[in-house]
Amino acid sequence: MYAFCIARGCKIFANHQLVKLLIMFKMIIVLMMTAVMQAGAVVYAQKATIEVSNAPLREVFAKLRKQTGYHFLFLTDDLKAAEPVSLDVRDASLNEVLDLCFDGQPLDYQIRGKRVLISRKGPQAAVGKPLVQEREVTGTVTDENGVPLPGATISLKGSTLAIATDESGNYRIKVPDQSAVLEFSLMGFDAQEVAVNGRSVIKVALKTSVSDLDEVVVIGYGTVKRSDLTGSVSTIKSEDFNPGQSGGVQGLIQGKLPGVRVVESSGEPGGGYSISIRGAGSISAGTGPLWVVDGSPMAGGLRTFNPDDIESIEVLKDASATAIYGSRAAGGVIMVTTKKGGNVPLQINYHGSASVNHPVNNITLLTPEQYMEVSNAIIDDGGGNPEDRIESTGAGTDWMAEIFNPGALEHNHSLSFSGRLSDLNYYVSLNATDEAGVIRNSGFQRYGGRINLNYGGSNKFKFGTNLRFAHIEDQLINKAGVNENAGAVYAALFFDPTLPVRNESGGFTTAELLTINNPVAILEGEDRGRRINQFAGNVYGEYSILPSLSVRLNVGFDIGDNRNDSYLTRQTLVGAARGGVGNVDQTQNFDHVVEGTIRYAETFNDHQLGLLAGVEMQKFKSSGLSMHAEGFAADGTGTDNMALGNPETFTIGSSRAGNSLASAFGRANYTFKDRYLLTATMRADGSTRFGTNNKFGYFPSFAFAWHLGKEPFMEPVSFIDELKPRISWGRTGNQSIGDFLSITTFARGATAIWNEAQQVGLTPARLPNEDIRWETSQQLDVGLDFALFNSRVVGHFDYFQQKTFDMLMAVPLAVETGFATQIRNIGSIANRGFEFDISTRNLVRQGFSWTTNLNMATVHNEVTDIGNTLQVISGASGFTNSFLVTRVGQPLRSYFGYEVAGVWQTDDDFSQTTQNVKPGDLKYVDQDANGEINANDRVVLGNAFPDLTLSFGNTISYKNFALVVFIEGVQGVNMLNNNLVDTYFPLQNRRNKYAEPYLNRWTPENPSNKYPSFVSPGSQGQNVVNSLTVEDASYIRLKSVQLSYDFPSRLLGNALRGAQLYVAATNLKTWSDYSGFDPALNSGGDPNAMIDYNAYPLARKFQIGVKVDF
Amino acid sequence: MRIPVRLKNELTTMNTRHFIPFMLLLCSLFTSCEDMLEERPYSELDPSDVLTTVNGIEKVLVSAYGNMVWNNVKFRLTRFEGWPADLSWQTGGVENRTALTIMNWTWDASQDQFIGAYSRHYDAIRDANIILGNLDLVTGIADNKKASLTAEARFIRAWAYYRLYIYFGATPLRTSIDDPAEMPKASQEEMLQFIETELLAVIPDLPEPGAEAQYGRVTSGGARALLAKFYLNSKQWEKAAAACQDVIDMDKYQLFPSFEDLLKAENDGNSEMILVTPLSPDGPALNYMEGAFPPGFASWPEKNVVNTSWENHGTQHRLRESFYHSFDPKDKRREPILTSYVNDRGVTVDLLNGAEDNIRSFRFWPDVNAQGNRHGNDLPEIRYADILLARAEALNELNGPSEEAINLINQVRARADVHDLSVTDFATKEALRDHLVQERAWEFYEEGHRRTDLIRMGKFVEFARKRGVENAEEYRTLYPIPQSALDANPLLEQNPGY
């Protein structure tokens, strides 16, 4: 990890703390690896040498295991019935030794793979105390595919009675009464409990228990065993989700998966996230991933998810995995899979948690005294109006403290009912979340539910549904706007700290020299709410024509209704000036997808073939309504009766739009000798967004993986469980641009006043581009999956190279045409990087285990072509604009501004510059050496693509306790601190500022070369984006610590099947040089061009929770 | 387990029954995809619905007029015409970041106000060209209607080119929707000729003042006045004098009696207004006062101005005291200058004897119906006083001081209650010109003409240097072609010096 950075010359290690941490990381990894290597560095022999006398079987098994590497699986009770043995064998085969051991014993053994299964002889060898045997139950135990399982153990719950299945998987057991419960178990499969319920025949299909290699991974239109994956897919199971994340799916996986960057745009309840996978491949079209929920691609609604309903999240990263989603997959694909009912009787799970949340605030502002002292000193030095001198501070107010709500309470409840009823698996859940924000008067409430039903069993026909519904009520605070239109965070940062909250007459104080609201007046005078209703899900049916051939139809839908209200009362400056201002915006969407697939899977000797073909239709429809009114008679009714406003101020708006996709796709998997795996996919997408001349796009992919570890010549290397190099190539598309770009339409134009009344004009909406098409990303991925030492070390490594071409870009048009830009397919961007993750089980001793996960990723982004355009300058945040540049040879949207060389000193040569500068002013680098600092002196100051992202998780469990510690970090990344801009270049002298630069400002006595005098900060014009305000936003964060305790069954009694109590802490500590609220809080929302401006601070959460299974 | 034969059959039929609708659904998916890829832009109009009807064309014309109103209306008064010149300046707020470069004459091509103004005028030109290129498609349009719509569109286009010329010099001359996207600058002569011939051509087809369909649309008087100002600013003195006389001879316009009340919102549309940009609190509105109000402005007791609901921003639009003191104390035109006020703590603040150059222009008297910072005062483009002083100036430039010129000036001074001038007061053409520099300052301060007047009269650079602006260079009499316009059109050249 170190090497990447040094090679790229990044400057992140300037911070000693970070260096130390990184070195610490490195050492931990080295130690960890060494420990694991030693534990596993035994070369297993094929033959065994055993010399024991009158030894218990268990001891013999232990010796055999050491020498041969075979695992022995048995029930302890079974071994109790066995006689001790005496052996003296040399270089004997395993079978020979075992035959000797089991001679005359009441036990039998079978060798399956690397495991030796030990069971009692004979199907009816019931032992234990005699029971009143009133009823006999018979049946068969099979695996999921109906293959009989011999040697499975069936035991009667609550007794010591146990029997095993015969060679055909049949069993016969006597049970005392109808309410008896049978436990079916077999090593390698998940144990299952089945209530007899009066039945005499019970067939059971055991589910293969999942090891890392056998786990099933969800991919596009199907699933695959992890060992059979040919593409790059990262998986996270619900138990590994970040704790304390109630407001969005993205937070659950933040930092957990290499190459998947989740950045919070707001710390408010209900969240705000942006997510990018493997960099960014587009200038003008969206770069976010496609979300697929239970197999149905859907847009939005991530807030409405109950985290407890999610089983796993898979992120498809390389083109082999994503190309089957074609024109929307260039930003990667995230698959969310929700929980299904298991093959068990009714289980009731309750998960409740409560937390106390505190704002994380690293900003130090001037105190009232410092504020007075510094403001007056600057006035004395000639900056500002002598009349504005401050005479006394009064009591002063800590405005941050006034708006914060430390100790904000949050509680979450989730109740689920799941299980199996005849051929129907069900999972039904309800959830409620109520989270108060760490800023007063903000909060989030969600009430939701889920119904997942799957009918199947042994029938050829299967169907099922996954339904999600939720209602959200959000109290928001204003995060946008500037001056009197800004929100509480902005006001708290800048408001005069010498003023009290309220004046003598009880009203809110105002500051006449500031066009900013009193921060408390904003919180109390603004009412912003969001209500969301969502109903989404899918229904599918599947029919097996032949065992190897099936067809499936899936219909998915997403109905959303989103209403935003805001009302400014007369307590705010704007509300007072306009007599109350109300806004209501409502948007509704109805999206649906219909998808038909046909599947074929067959094995011919050494050849395995899997085929999938499908067609899909998708439609996205949305409509919006908006209204605005001012001049209300009184504030009481707010937006609940907009008609009470002054009709002259009414404005209305409505919109309706839609787009559709029609697609066909297919996939072929071919495996030869279980060792050589080939995957090919193809998708054709037709989209309404594409030009009439380019309706369909085609997206192929190919991948090859090789189970090197299974090759005969690798057999001697017994510590390798899996070694699978893989390579993939493919193309995906991006069509996240507006609708109707290929046709001419007229939309609302400029307005004019005729006869004192407003006239609405019409003007062409755009210059159409009939050739517009998807942009194409071509990606090459080389990867290696490995599992070593009985899967004690599992890891994945990927190198990828992605190139986007035919990029969708808003190409600047000659301004004289009257059209600013036209979306065209032009130019290209390249991304490349490494991803690495490794999980190790460092220690597994009796009752104690320690596992570690480490992941790292790098991404290098470079714009390689933008057609004839020289550069595209963009960026807007508050009053700061035009600070991002997209240029060939640089990362997308690099920060663009002035380089600060230092501060003008008294004895400098002022003839070098024609700028109006004095000692104490910032000294900018005159890049073109023409004596003048102007727009031509701007240079690239950095970018928001991290050189390195890393995370490091440890789980230590002892007996019933488990401790999870999770650390994540980002290195070599910049962010524009736009609040720091307002400190360096205050809009009004009397605004409060960050303390550090002002307390250490340049004066003749303190000739700082870092901080200016602030006497005339604006004298050189708009150079506000510079090497001081674009900051290094690298950080290392102790993201979460969680301690849990599982109550042992002996404490639980009969009513409970399990119970867990946990405590967790989130966002505990962050190490960073960044001077704003948080180095990863990107209120700008674009993860590839991070901007910090009046962000809602993150919450530090202390949570306690309980999980109970009935 | 064995399944009885009968049951098995039943199962099979049941499954087939499931299977058939299932397959039908599946098959329906394979039907023509092209049909499903038709999507209607519900919220936008088809060009054929807009360009073939009179009503549709008029809506495009609204957009053309609307684009002549600047995105940020006060910018013309402040950033373009005010702060680079001698009467006003600015402090405070984010505006100061830009204002400093303007007051110090260090503005550069990357600044927003330049691309804003440049592109907005070309948007108006685009709308005008769309109308002119499609009028033939309009069904059932009367000939005189077609002629007046054509004349209005051509007027807007010529007006836009006039303003571009005033600020940026010659720019690309797009006169048809079929012109190529990228065009070079027109020559100086082409530009001047185009504006002149277009204005001359449309005057006969435009309605007489008062006969326009709605107030706010151009009349023949407006076109004549613009032609007069165009001649004046391109120093075609003879034509300017004649064109002014044409406007005077129309006998439609007269000076409004009160200078103080002239620009109040309630007097919008008074008979002094020849060409205006109509503004309203709920449409495009005037936002000048947001900066003219001093901090905590509560009232101006002498004038009964009480702030009930006006937004007051951090930016401070200030006048220079030297200008205030240049007035004859009796001059009514000094009245709308705020020199002291009561702030919201009830304290009377003296602006004249406090911070330097801190007095405020209340020319655009705060509108009682304003919403926030949005005031409804119309912005005069050309008013009758301007025509009178323009003719006086043109006559002076042609023949030196004359009785007629002095009489014209005296008409304007009479309203201000200041003494008449006499032709003997001015020995030379230069002396009268210098007086006109001053007279126009008194008459038009903060009205958006100052920079243009000073440039025409050769005082722009001189005055700036006198104020101590070291960077005041002759090439800055033109603003730079905006950087993003240069980036997007390789045929475009930057103005010399930038």
> Is the CB of B314 inside 8 Å of chain A's CB atoms?
yes
Residues A495-520 have pLDDT tens digits of 999 999 998 888 899 887 888 899 99
Contact (Cβ atoms closer than 8 angstroms) between residue A672 and residue A313: no
Distance CA(A94)–CA(A68), nearest Å, equals: 8
When scoring B37, B53, B307, B313 by the number of chain A Cβ atoms within 10 A, the one with the most, hence best to mutate, is B37
Q: Helix crossing, B237-250 with B220-233: angle to 10°?
A: 160
- Distance of alpha carbon A915 from the chain centroid: 48
Tell if the CB–CB gap between B284 and A870 is shorter than 8 Å: no
- Does residue A282 come out as left (phi exceeding 0), alpha (psi in the -120 to 50 range) or beta? beta
Please tell me the predicted confidence (pLDDT) of residue A1022: 75
When scoring A815, A886, A887 by the number of chain B Cβ atoms within 10 A, the one with the most, hence best to mutate, is A815
Q: How many residues does chain A have?
A: 1110
How far apart are the CA of A33 and the nearest CA of chain B, in angstroms?
A: 53
Look-up: residue for tokens 């005078």? A525
Q: What is the H or E stretch that residue A521 is in?
A: helix A519-525
Distance CA(A314)–CA(B184), nearest Å, equals: 55
Q: Which residues numbered 61-100 in B keep a CB inside 8 Å of some CB on A?
A: 61-67, 69, 92-94, 96-98, 100
Q: Which residues numbered 337-366 in B keep a CB inside 8 Å of some CB on A?
A: 343-345, 354-355
Residue A919 CB coordination number (10 Å): 18
How far apart are the CA of B127 and the nearest CA of chain A, in angstroms?
A: 7
> Is the CB of A514 inside 8 Å of chain B's CB atoms?
yes
Q: Helix crossing, B403-415 with B384-399: angle to 10°?
A: 150
Distance CA(A272)–CA(A281), nearest Å, equals: 22
Tell if the CB–CB gap between A988 and B314 is shorter than 8 Å: yes
Tell if the CB–CB gap between B372 and A739 is shorter than 8 Å: no
- 3-class secondary structure, B222: helix
| Residue A725 β-bridge partners | A784
The vertex-A958 CA angle with A954 and A964, nearest 5°, equals 25
How far apart are the CA of B406 and the nearest CA of chain A, in angstroms?
A: 37
Instruction: Return the amino acid letter for B378.
Output: D
How far apart are the CA of B110 and the nearest CA of chain A, in angstroms?
A: 6
Q: Is the dihedral of CA B101, B103, B105, B109 positive or negative?
A: positive
Residues B248-301 have pLDDT tens digits of 999 999 999 999 999 999 999 999 999 999 999 988 999 999 999 999 899 999
pTM (2 d.p.): 0.81
Tell if the CB–CB gap between A750 and B63 is shorter than 8 Å: yes
Tell if the CB–CB gap between A816 and B174 is shorter than 8 Å: yes
When scoring A620, A762, A877 by the number of chain B Cβ atoms within 10 A, the one with the most, hence best to mutate, is A762
Please tell me the predicted confidence (pLDDT) of residue A773: 87
Distance CA(B126)–CA(B123), nearest Å, equals: 5
Tell if the CB–CB gap between B311 and A484 is shorter than 8 Å: yes
Backbone angles phi, psi at B326, to 5 degrees: -75, -20
Tell if the CB–CB gap between A757 and B280 is shorter than 8 Å: yes
Which residues from B are below 8 Å from A751, CB to CB?
Answer: 62, 66, 283-284
Contact (Cβ atoms closer than 8 angstroms) between residue A757 and residue A781: no
Which residues from A are below 8 Å from B314, CB to CB?
Answer: 483, 514-515, 987-988
Q: In the structure encoding, which two tokens stand for residue B390, read together?
A: 């323009």
Distance CA(B224)–CA(B251), nearest Å, equals: 13
> Is the CB of A693 inside 8 Å of chain B's CB atoms?
no
Tell if the CB–CB gap between A753 and B280 is shorter than 8 Å: yes
Tell if the CB–CB gap between A754 and B215 is shorter than 8 Å: yes
pLDDT in tens, chain B (498 residues): 233 333 333 333 344 455 555 555 555 554 444 566 777 788 888 888 899 999 999 999 999 999 999 889 999 999 999 999 999 999 888 898 899 899 999 899 989 999 999 999 999 999 999 999 999 989 889 999 999 999 999 999 999 999 999 999 999 999 999 999 999 999 999 999 999 999 999 999 999 999 999 999 999 999 999 999 999 999 999 999 999 999 999 999 999 999 999 999 999 999 999 999 999 998 899 999 999 999 989 999 999 999 987 888 889 999 999 999 999 999 999 999 999 999 988 999 999 988 889 999 999 999 999 988 999 999 999 999 999 999 999 999 999 999 999 999 999 999 999 999 999 999 999 999 999 999 999 999 999 999 999 999 999 999 999 999 988 999 999 999 999 899 889 999 999 999
Nearest CA in chain A to B354: A387
- 3-class secondary structure, A426: strand
Distance CA(A925)–CA(A938), nearest Å, equals: 9
Q: What is the ipTM of this complex?
A: 0.90
The vertex-A827 CA angle with A824 and A828, nearest 5°, equals 130
How far apart are the CA of B322 and the nearest CA of chain A, in angstroms?
A: 20
Q: Which residues numbered 803-842 in A keep a CB inside 8 Å of some CB on B?
A: 812-820
Q: Which residues numbered 49-68 in A keep a CB inside 8 Å of some CB on B?
A: none
Nearest CA in chain B to A655: B43
- Calculate the average pLDDT of chain A: 87
> Is the CB of B37 inside 8 Å of chain A's CB atoms?
yes
Contact (Cβ atoms closer than 8 angstroms) between residue A630 and residue A580: yes
Contact (Cβ atoms closer than 8 angstroms) between residue A368 and residue A993: no
Contact (Cβ atoms closer than 8 angstroms) between residue A426 and residue A460: no
> Is the CB of A580 inside 8 Å of chain B's CB atoms?
no
Q: Of B33, B43, B115, which is closest to A655 when you measure between CB atoms?
A: B43
> Is the CB of B118 inside 8 Å of chain A's CB atoms?
yes
When scoring B67, B97, B100 by the number of chain A Cβ atoms within 10 A, the one with the most, hence best to mutate, is B97
How far apart are the CA of B292 and the nearest CA of chain A, in angstroms?
A: 14
| Residue A338 β-bridge partners | A310
Tell if the CB–CB gap between B181 and A817 is shorter than 8 Å: yes
Q: How far is CA A1091 from CA A126, A266, A492, in A?
A: 71, 12, 19
Q: List Cβ neighbours of A1101 (8 Å cut-off, separation of 6 or more).
A: A244, A355, A356, A357, A358, A410, A1064, A1065, A1066, A1067
> Which DSSP state fits A649?
G
- Distance of alpha carbon A262 from the chain centroid: 5
Alpha helices per DSSP H over A139-236: none
Tell if the CB–CB gap between A1018 and B66 is shorter than 8 Å: no
The vertex-B367 CA angle with B361 and B369, nearest 5°, equals 165
Q: In the structure encoding, which two tokens stand for residue A361, read together?
A: 């605030």
Contact (Cβ atoms closer than 8 angstroms) between residue A497 and residue A365: yes
Q: How many CA atoms lie within 13 A of B374 on its CB side?
A: 16
Q: How far is CA A1035 from CA A155, A950, A968, A1039, B187, in A?
A: 54, 10, 8, 11, 57
Which residues from A are below 8 Å from B104, CB to CB?
Answer: 916
Tell if the CB–CB gap between A744 and B41 is shorter than 8 Å: no
- 3-class secondary structure, B428: coil
Distance CA(A924)–CA(A908), nearest Å, equals: 13
pLDDT beneath 50, residues of chain A? 1-19, 21-22, 25, 28-29, 31-44, 123-133
